[in-house]
Structure formats: C-alpha cells, structure tokens
Amino acid sequence: MLIQKRNIARVFAPLLMPARYKGAYGGRGSGKSHFFGEQLVEDCLQQRGLLAVCIREVQKTLAQSSKRLIEHKIKTLGASREFRVFKDRIETPGGGLIIFTGMQDRAVNNSARQVLADMRSMANDLVWFAYGIGDGPVAHAYASATSTIVAGANVTAVYHAGRRVRAVGATTGTIYGSISSSSYSAPNTTVNYTWDSGSLANESLVISISQSPVTGAPVGQNCIPGLQAGTINWVAAGGTADAITATYSPALTALGDGQFCFVRASAANATTAPTFAPNGLTAHTITKKGGAPLAVGDIPAALAEIILRYNLANTRWELINPAASSEFTSGTFTPTDNSGASLSLTTNFVYRKHATFYLFWGELTYPSTANGNGAALAGLPFTSKSNTFAVAGWYTPINFTNGSWGGALMYLSANQNATTGTFRDAGGTQPANSVFSTWRMYLIGSVPL
C-alpha cells in the first residue's frame, strides 16, 4: 500500500483505465517516464509477484537505464521497505522482479520504429483505414467499375452493406461511396459498391473503409453523405400521390422506431390513407396527430416538403407537418332519411370543421308521415369516434308549426365510425318518424372526431 498519495496530471488520466496495451507520445520533459515509473511501483505493490522489464532504445549500461528513476519513485512514494534494490535488478513484493535492458540490435530498433510510424500514420486519418490481415492490408483486385475481389479470405463481416468506403487509384482518383453487398465464395470475397460519383478503373486500388461500421459508434461527418449539405434521408418522392416511395443512399435496410424520413412530394394526397415505402421496404399507412387518418390535401401539392416519422409499435408513418388548411374547413351538407322509410326531407345545413371536432347547424323539415320506423339520418359530414349510440352532440328540435314552439327535447346520437345517427328523446328512446310529421326543426351541435 502506498504511503504517499500520487498527484497525476489530467493528461495521463486515460492511462489509468484497463487496457492490454498503453502508450504515450510526447517530447522531452512531458512527464511520461515519471508517470510510468510511479505506475510500475504501484502495480508491483498491488500485484504481488509482478515481473516487469524496463527497455530503453539506447542502453549499453545500467547508468543509461531507467533503474535510477524507479529507485527514486520507490523512495518518494514511501515504499522502500517493500522493495529490495540490487545492482542490476529490483526485487518486488511477493517475489517479483524488475529488470532493465536496452534495444541493442539496430534491426529491432528499426522494426519498433516502423510499428510506431504505422500506428501514427493510421491515427492521423481518423475517418478511414485500410483493413488488414496479418502483416498488411488486404489487397483488392479490380473486378468491375463497382466491385473488387479480396482473394483468399472471408471478409464479409467487415465489408458489410451500408458501410462507407473510399477508393483511391491513379486513374480512378479519390471516390467515395457505400458497400451495397458482399459475398464469399471460397476462397474469395466479392465486394460491391454504390459510388456517390465516379467509378473504379482497372488498375491498382487502395480501398479504405470507415472507422466505424453502420451498426457501431458515430462516425466522422465526412463519412456520411449529405450531413454537411443537410440532405440526410431526403429525396424527391417516387411512386404515386397515395403510394409514395423513396430511394435513399445509403439505403434504409430496416425501419427503427422514430426513424425520420424527408420527402419532396410529387402530388397532393387524394385519399385519407396514403402509404410510404422507402427503399423497397413494406409500405405502411401515413397518419397524423397520433394515428388519425389524413384529410385529402394534408400533403398539399407537388414539391411540398413533408416530414415522416416511423411508429414501430403501430407500424405506421406519422406526418409531422400536415397542411394547416386541412384542419379548418367549412361547407354545406344534406342529411337524408336513414330510417328505411325513404322519406323526402327538406334540409339546409352548414358545418365548420375545427381541428378535431365539427360544429354544424341548420333546418330540417319532415313531411307528413304516419310511418312507425325509428327516426334516423344519414349523410352527416363527419365520422364519429364515439361508441354506438353514445351522445356525440345535443340538438334541440323546435316545432315552428302555426308559429308556436312545440315538441319535446330530442338529440341526435352519432353512430361509431359512420356518417349516420339516430334520434333519441330525453329517456334514450328512439322516436318514430310519425312523431316528427310536418315538423320544422332547427338543430345545432358539435361532435368530437
């Protein structure tokens, strides 16, 4: 256990995290040797019996080694009683040992320098790297303008569909794209590409892939086409006005909950249940406001920019920006007899739709009739979501016959998911048509949708 508390510079904090290999790069006086010296002493105290070797690039004698530094750290950390210092070695707690040596052979030095240079070169390009097996990167042989072959290895797990890729060649130049597919047929792997622009030439090629796979951590913005231009998941619509398609690149291969898609419409929707299918995936219905059907014209016209978001639980697309005009409409309607008696009604009605409910009012005159069928209407300007016979709105029929008020309080109950309704009296009973014979009634009400 250390007697003195260590003061560690913030820059070295990441080196305290567990890792198989650790390294630091910096100039003289940056504190690297002191940090690793202290860390070695602490590791020896915590891991009894630890064996360690301290190597310097140039060390012909112990005077040129790091032994003196380690001895100093043992003393300053108050751990002298735990270590035994000899001329050529230091024995650690639990029978461990620290020895000191140099990289005397020039070939070894050069090899280590080359490894460090390769690591530095790879780290300099944080976006792309050439995937390698063994001593170097895998070789890509030209197969076509959009494909290469990797001989003698199955690398499909690395070169998977959707991963960004860069190709460099003397004639090809530097081009970017995405892997569309890869397949292995022993002993070779064929990799197919979709290029943003340009194509491969039949020449020596260097193929690099993005540092992170499509399913991995975020990648640099230059790996994602359209990020800087603001066109990610945006495309002009294909298909028809009510069966919309879109072809994105990179392609969407599956739909996740909350997936955003941006589309420039080709026409206004003409139905209340248009569908959307990106990249050949299953078409799903487009809704709005939590699953409500669209109104005709919610997608207002050709060239309208629409925003869609996928709801996985309900397998539907939500239109985030329906046309505002479709939320506020007005007009006239003509209710008809729905009792089965084929009565000829005289009507004069108007309605106004306001977001999620209807207001309507007007006059209704019944003919002279002794028909005993239950009074009911069809041709209402809305489809009620209320349960069958639930009160969707209250109406006060007033009989103006002979210039006097008459009749009883009635209401019209809208039928669920229909444009029909039945009259009810205050007790909930459906009156016969004969009750309304020659009545002229004024009705006013509101109905939630």
> What three-state secondary structure class fits 347?
strand
| Pairing label, strands 336-337, 305-311 | unpaired
Whether 281 and 353 share a structural domain: no
Q: Which helix (H) or strand (E) holds 277?
A: strand 275-278
Which residue from 208, 209, 186, 207 is spatially nearest to 141, judged by alpha carbons?
Answer: 207
Tell me how many domains the chain contains: 4
Whether 208 and 313 share a structural domain: no
Whether 92 and 155 share a structural domain: no
Which residue blocks in 32-97 are alpha helix, DSSP H? 32-46, 67-76
Query: Residue 299: what pLDDT?
Result: 93
State the number of CA atoms in the 13 A half-sphere of 148 facing the CB: 29
Amino acid, single-letter form, for residue 159: Y
> What three-state secondary structure class fits 154?
coil
Query: Residue 104: what pLDDT?
Result: 60
Q: Is residue 3 part of a domain?
A: no
Domain limit, last residue, from 223, 253, 271: 223
Peptide bond into 250 cis (omega under 30): yes
244 within 8 A of 212, measured Cβ to Cβ? no
Q: Is residue 1 part of a domain?
A: no
Q: CA-to-CA distance for 14 and 42, rounded, in angstroms?
A: 16
Q: Is residue 109 part of a domain?
A: no
Which residue from 104, 134, 108, 129 is spatially nearest to 119, judged by alpha carbons?
Answer: 129
Which residue from 374, 384, 378 is spatially nearest to 349, judged by alpha carbons?
Answer: 378
Domain limit, last residue, from 55, 87, 102: 102
Q: CA-to-CA distance for 45 and 406, rounded, in angstroms?
A: 103
State the number of CA atoms in the 13 A half-sphere of 83 facing the CB: 29
Whether 337 and 421 share a structural domain: yes
Query: Residue 33: what pLDDT?
Result: 86
Q: CA-to-CA distance for 430 and 423, rounded, in angstroms?
A: 6
> 260: domain range?
234-322
Q: Is residue 228 part of a domain?
A: no
State the number of CA atoms in the 13 A half-sphere of 195 facing the CB: 19
Global pTM?
Answer: 0.34
Q: CA-to-CA distance for 128 and 174, rounded, in angstroms?
A: 13
Which residue from 439, 372, 434, 368 is spatially nearest to 401, judged by alpha carbons?
Answer: 439
291 within 8 A of 316, measured Cβ to Cβ? yes
Whether 160 and 272 share a structural domain: no
Q: Is residue 292 part of a domain?
A: yes
Query: Residue 121: what pLDDT?
Result: 62
Whether 20 and 64 share a structural domain: yes
| Pairing label, strands 188-195, 147-150 | antiparallel
> What three-state secondary structure class fits 100?
strand
Specify the CATH number for the domain of residue 176.
2.40.30
Tens place of pLDDT for every residue, the chain, 449 residues?
545 567 788 888 888 888 888 888 877 888 888 899 899 999 999 898 989 988 876 656 666 578 889 999 999 888 889 999 998 899 999 989 999 887 665 565 667 777 776 666 655 566 787 787 655 678 899 999 999 999 988 999 889 888 889 999 999 999 988 899 999 999 999 999 999 889 999 999 999 888 765 544 444 444 455 544 455 678 999 999 999 999 988 788 888 888 999 999 999 999 999 999 999 999 999 999 889 999 888 999 999 999 999 999 999 999 999 986 555 778 898 999 999 999 999 988 888 877 667 788 888 888 999 999 999 999 888 776 654 333 333 344 444 444 444 555 677 777 777 888 888 877 788 889 998 888 887 777 777 66
Whether 304 and 416 share a structural domain: no
Q: CA-to-CA distance for 14 and 5, rounded, in angstroms?
A: 18
Whether 94 and 164 share a structural domain: no
State the number of CA atoms in the 13 A half-sphere of 101 facing the CB: 7
Specify the CATH number for the domain of residue 61.
3.40.50.300
| Sign of the dihedral through C-alpha 44, 46, 51, 56 | negative
Q: Is residue 344 part of a domain?
A: yes
Q: Is residue 382 part of a domain?
A: yes
Q: CA-to-CA distance for 202 and 179, rounded, in angstroms?
A: 19
156 within 8 A of 184, measured Cβ to Cβ? yes
Specify the CATH number for the domain of residue 421.
2.60.40
Whether 302 and 336 share a structural domain: no
Query: Residue 4: what pLDDT?
Result: 56
Residue 296 phi, psi (nearest 5): -60, 125
Whether 369 and 438 share a structural domain: yes
Q: CA-to-CA distance for 91 and 287, rounded, in angstroms?
A: 75
Whether 351 and 444 share a structural domain: yes
Whether 282 and 303 share a structural domain: yes
Q: CA-to-CA distance for 154 and 271, rounded, in angstroms?
A: 50
> What three-state secondary structure class fits 354?
strand
Domain limit, last residue, from 276, 294, 322: 322
Q: Which helix (H) or strand (E) holds 136?
A: strand 136-137
Contacting residues for 358 by C-beta, under 8 A, at least 6 apart: 351, 352, 381, 382, 446, 447, 449
Query: Cα Rg for the chain, rounded, in angstroms?
Result: 40
Q: Is residue 29 part of a domain?
A: yes
